[in-house]
Amino acid sequence: MDLKANKKELRKEKIRAREALSEEDRIRFSADICGRIVRTPEYAEASTVFVYKWVRGEVRLDELEKQAASDGKRLIYPLCVSQTEMLAVEPGAGDDAWTDSGYMGIMEPVAEKGTATDPADIDLVIAPCSSFDERCGRLGMGGGFYDRYLPKCVRARIIAAAFETQRSEEIPLGEYDFPVDAVATEERLIRR
C-alpha cells in the first residue's frame, strides 16, 4: 500500500475510534486535555494562542478557550481561504463575528470582522489530528492545511490535542508532514 492510501486508511480507522467515544467521555476527556495543556510551560509563556473550533468528534477546546481568555491571552482561529490555504484570524466582537458555513461546515471567524495575524507572531498552536504516535507524528484530516501553515509559525510551539484512542503505533510520514512538539491526551503529555 502506498503512503497516501496507508494514511487514508489509518485516518478513517482513527476517526471511527474517536467518534465511538460516548458524549460523556468526550466532554470529560476534552476537559482533561485542556487542563493538561494549560499546565505546560508552552502555554504559560504564550501570549498569542492559535486554537481550532472542534467538529465531528474532535477534542473540544472550550475549557482552554475560557482559561486563555481569563489569563489575558490572545486567541486566534483558522480561516480557510481556499481548498489548500488558511489564515489565522482574531475574531471580532459580536454574534456576527463567526460563521458556521466555513470550510467543511467548520465554525470560522468572519474575515471582515476579524484581524488577520502574521503566523510569525503566534506563540502556541493547538492542532487537531486524526491520529498520533509516540514520536509526536501527527496525521491530520487529509486537507494538508496545518502541514502547509505550521512551517510559517516560526517561533510557535505546537501541541496536538487528541484522545488516547487515536494513538497509532507509527504515523506514516511524508516529506511535507509537519511533526508537532507534543501531544496532549486525557492521560498524558507526550513530547518529541
- What digits encode the pLDDT tens for the residues 56-93? 889 999 999 999 999 999 999 998 888 788 889 999 88
The ranges assigned to domains in the chain are: 3-76+85-90+117-191
Helix, strand, or coil (residue 50):
strand
94-153 pLDDT, tens digit each? 777 777 666 666 777 888 888 899 999 999 999 999 999 999 999 888 777 888 899 999
Supply the CATH classification number for the domain 3-76+85-90+117-191. 3.40.50.10420
Alpha helix locations (H) across the chain? 3-19, 23-38, 41-45, 62-70, 145-149
What pLDDT band is residue 1 in, cutting at 50, 70 and 90? low
CA distance 110 to 175: 33
**Which pLDDT score is estimated for 176?**
75
99 vs 109: CA distance, rounded Å: 6
Cell of 180: 508537532
Instruction: Tell me the average pLDDT across 28-43.
Output: 97
Cell of 121: 507572531
CB 124 within 8 A of CB 159: yes
Per-residue pLDDT averaged across 26-38, rounded? Answer: 97
Q: What is the pTM of this model?
A: 0.92
> Which of 160, 155, 156, 178 minimizes the C-alpha distance to 14?
160
CB of 10 within 8 A of CB of 18?
A: no
